[in-house]
Chains A and B, each alone.
Chain A
Amino acid sequence: MGRHRPHTAQPVREPILGTTPRGGSAETQRKAQGPGGHPPLVRVRGLHFARGDRVIFDGIDLDIPRGQVTAVMGPSGTGKTTLLKLISGQLRPDAGTIEVDGQNVHALSRGDLYRLRTRMGMLFQSGALLTDINVFDNVAYPLREHTRLPESMIRKLVLMKLEAVGLRGARDLMPSELSGGMARRVALARAVALDPMMIMYDEPFTGQDPISLGVLVTLIRQLNDASRLTSIVVSHDVAETAGIADRIYLIANGQVMAQGNPKQVEASGSGWVHQFMHGEADGPVHFHYPAPELAQDFLG
């Protein structure tokens, strides 16, 4: 195993599969277009974002095609969740633009941003269910907030959403009575309550047992296809994510390291991409944190 090199991923500067040139080429945009040649639902151009001195994104370009499941993958701490927060307008970029359905998210007024968010759903890593109300009321929450539907209609809609995630029978439980996997499924039902055009999944598979994980994987794909959604899945669980994704972006060190469909990314010639996709302990990213020679350390 290699030594004396940084533990973090090295930016791969050689051309990788479909790496988007700054500003986005016509070819890239064509590839990112969904079925029917529609423009991408989310267009990220020249995105710069830093926390203090630490650069998270250094001018990246991304296109999220409509109607597909797009995975954004990368090692921990590379800013995958930050990207979702930028897309949803919870964070403001230092430079660059993010357009969702043709609207520049960060140029919108608060009212317009909220109107846009009613068409976006987000599944948080923790589920983010309101802990003082039960499962039914959590799913009903956005319906009661944003519609004037009668309570009888809300009840039917909530039960339909809960049925879709297999938790109709858990409607009266409180969030504290749910397992992690159940909480995420309830959160998913809440996220689709208003039939959004897009759902963002923040690390949906982390900490799940195999059964819950399988359920979530299936649900994400089925919901996307049945409801003609656009899904963005942020994850570092390679096998599960690649299994349902139509398109993958690999990000690290503020750059898009690779993009394409799962087979293209799997077949990448980049050592870093290969190491990440196959979970190898050593490679361009070294097992050992930089340190003096072992013998020198023991004797010295």
Chain B
Amino acid sequence: MSELLRQLGRTGLQALGGLGRAHLLLVGILLGLPQLVTRPRLLLAQVFNVGVLSVLIIAVSGLFVGMVLGLQGYHVLSQFGAAQSLGVMVAASLVRELGPVVTALLVAGRAGSALTAEVGLMKATEQLSGLEMMAVDPIKRILTPRFVGGLISMPLLAALFSAVGVLGGWFVGVGLLGVDEGAYWGQLQAKIDFREDVVNGVIKSLAFGFVVTWISLFQGYDADPTAEGVSRATTRTVVHSALAVLGLDFVLTALMFGN
């Protein structure tokens, strides 16, 4: 019993310690923002790494998700004679929920794990120590550009996901199942509210970008500097990011659409 309590206490302390280190790292990253303004190339490189290199997987996934939504939505809505509302259903699902959430999960799997592995390997190969010894702060130089790059890329990728998804829904609904094209686009335009749907979706994807990039960078920076340590950290990035995104999505949805 006492061993169990001891183990519980140890685990709790480790978790609290990790949380503390993560917040300290976040402060360090944010303190590097002014320096980033004078070096926009560092940021552009990371927007390319996190954002541009994720475009293909996001676009393809968005297309398939939109097609599935079109198919499923058509079958449900047609039972109530509301198949003409397919465009609204597809767009609302994507812009409000699936766009930000699925994009965040995909970015965590592709770019987040890559960030963790990159930073973890830089630590394992003493590149971060090497920067320290060259009097260059590795947090400001390496982590801050990656953090902001992730933050900027996430809403753009979510927008791409939703846009391609709407096209996927259009292809299935209008192209294959015979929904009227005017109704598809017209209802979508009339019912999707910019403030209620689009802005809330952007806020969600910004929040997810913040959390996923923070988790990814922290796991890399905090990884044991060994091959096994980096491997474990990469796994933790995907697991923690997925859980954080889904949990945060519920909280944000409740705050935005709870009334």
Q: Which residue of B lies closest to A145 (CB)?
A: B136
B135 touches A117 (CB 8 A): yes
Number of interface residues of B (CB under 8 A): 12
Give B153-195 as 1s and 0s: 1 = Cβ < 8 Å from A's Cβ atoms.
Answer: 0000000000000000000000000000000000000000000
Looking at the complex, which of B4-12, B70-78, B80-88, B122-130 is the stretch in contact with chain A? B122-130
A124 touches B130 (CB 8 A): yes
B196 within 8 A of A: no
B135 touches A128 (CB 8 A): no
B134 within 8 A of A: yes
Number of interface residues of A (CB under 8 A): 23
Query: With A126-B125, A128-B125 in contact, is A118–B130 under 8 Å at CB?
Result: no
Q: Which residue of B lies closest to A110 (CB)?
A: B137
Residues of B136-151 at the interface with A, using a CB-CB cut-off of 8 Å, are 136-137
Distance of B21 from chain A, by nearest CB (Å): 16
Q: When the two chains form the complex, which single residue of B127, B132, B135 contacts A130, counting CB atoms closer than 8 Å?
A: B127
Q: Which residue of B lies closest to A202 (CB)?
A: B126
Q: What are the residues of chain A within 8 A of B1 when measuring CB–CB?
A: none
B133 within 8 A of A: yes
B126 touches A126 (CB 8 A): yes
Pairs A-B, 8 closest by C-beta atoms: A128-B130, A114-B135, A128-B126, A117-B135, A122-B133, A124-B126, A142-B134, A118-B135
Q: Which residues of A contact B (CB under 8 A)?
A: 85, 88, 90, 114-115, 117-118, 120-122, 124-126, 128-131, 141-142, 145-146, 187, 190
Q: Which residues of B contact A (CB under 8 A)?
A: 125-127, 129-137
- Known pairs A128-B127, A128-B130, A190-B134; list 9 more (Cβ under 8 Å): A88-B133, A90-B132, A114-B135, A114-B137, A120-B133, A126-B126, A131-B127, A145-B135, A187-B130
20 CB < 8 A contacts A-B: A85-B129, A90-B133, A114-B137, A115-B135, A117-B132, A117-B134, A117-B135, A121-B133, A122-B130, A122-B133, A124-B133, A125-B126, A126-B125, A126-B126, A128-B130, A129-B127, A130-B130, A131-B127, A142-B135, A145-B136
